[in-house]
Structure formats: structure tokens, C-alpha cells
Amino acid sequence: MKNRYKVVVNGSLEYNFGNEEISSLDTQKIAPAKFHVLKGARSFKAEILESSFHKKSYSVKINSNIYEVVISNELDLLIEEMGLSLGQAVVVNDIKAPMPGLILDVNIKEGEAVKEGDYLLVLEAMKMENTITAPRDGVVKSVSVKKGETVEKNQLLIEME
């Protein structure tokens, strides 16, 4: 299998490369983040100004111009072709009951700031206590249940801003 890469420059220009195109470049490292590149009869000075390994994005200075570059590898391209997304966060505003049960305790109130992982309430279901935690940092917009109340599956418990 040939490795392929998609490179998006400044959010609009898109290029596709394979191993052959990359190996045909004549590069020489002249400093930790500085390179001299020959492509055909043309010479370029390249410097990596900033890099985000997890986002696969780079700020690259070539000669005197600065470019924002995002590189997608074989796996990224396959995930994109399948119509899936990788690493995109979904903002959760509504916290619903995962199962029917009884509210044993409510640890927060409206307007309270919470951090991801904070205990919000305790739901007893099938003789087990389930602690419902905050999925993200935020502010509690409303609490729809109170201690001692019975809830159904998917019933709104807490709404966050």
C-alpha cells in the first residue's frame, strides 16, 4: 500500500502527495527547524515556526512567505472517505437519565459553575447507585429533578449553558 497525504495550505489550497513525490525532494537540514529544499531547479529555504502534533498543523515559512499547513495521513483520509470524523468534540448541554431510577441526591443548583467530572447527582437504578458527572466545564442552567423523584430513561435531569 502506498502512503498518501493530503496537505491543505492556508485553508484553501489542497495538494495530494505520495511517497514518491516526497522522496523526490532534495532536502538538507541546516538547523533544528530549518531546511534547504531543492525541487527541480528551484531552491527554497523552509522553517517550521509553529507545530501542533495532535492537530497535525504547522506554520511554515518558505523563503519570505508564511503558510498555515494541515497534513492528513492515510488513516485521516480513510476516515474522511467513510464520512466519519476524528477528534471533533460534541458539546453536551442536556444531561439525561441513562436508565429509569430514583434520584438519591442532587449535588448542584442552578447557576452553579461545574468542572468536567464533578459529581452532579446520584441515580439509583437496579439497586445500584450511579453517579452522574459533568461532561464538560460549564454553568448549570436548570435542574429538572429533585431528591426522591423517580425518573424515566432519557428524562432531562440537568441543562447546562
pLDDT for 152 equals 94
pLDDT for 103 equals 95
Reading the chain (161 residues) residue by residue, the pLDDT tens digits are 478 889 999 989 999 988 888 888 889 999 989 999 888 888 999 999 998 877 889 999 999 999 999 998 888 877 777 776 555 555 778 999 989 999 999 999 999 999 988 999 999 988 889 999 988 889 999 999 999 999 999 999 999 98
Domain boundary among 57, 81, 105: 81
- Write the CATH number for 105: 2.40.50.100
pLDDT for 85 equals 59
Q: Range of 76's domain?
A: 4-81
Residue in the structure block whose three cell numbers are 472517505? 81
Domain contains 87: no
Residue 9 near residue 68, CB atoms below 8 Å: yes
Residue 114 shares a structural domain with residue 67: no
Residue 155 shares a structural domain with residue 118: yes
Burial class (CB in 10 A: 0-12, 13-18, 19+), 114: buried
Residue 105: other Cβ atoms inside 10 A: 14
Whole-model pTM? 0.48
Residue 16 shares a structural domain with residue 61: yes
Domain boundary among 32, 56, 81: 81
- At residue 34, φ and ψ (nearest 5 deg) are -120, 140
Residue 76 shares a structural domain with residue 12: yes
Residue 64 shares a structural domain with residue 100: no
Domain contains 151: yes
Which residues neighbour 104 within 8 Å (Cβ) at sequence distance 6 or greater? 121, 122, 123, 124, 129, 147
Residue 10 shares a structural domain with residue 76: yes
* Dihedral class, residue 106 (left if φ above 0, else alpha if ψ from -120 to 50, else beta): beta
Residue type, 131: T
Instruction: Report the domain count for the chain.
Output: 2
Domain contains 88: no
Domain contains 89: no
Residue 61 shares a structural domain with residue 103: no
Domain boundary among 19, 48, 81: 81
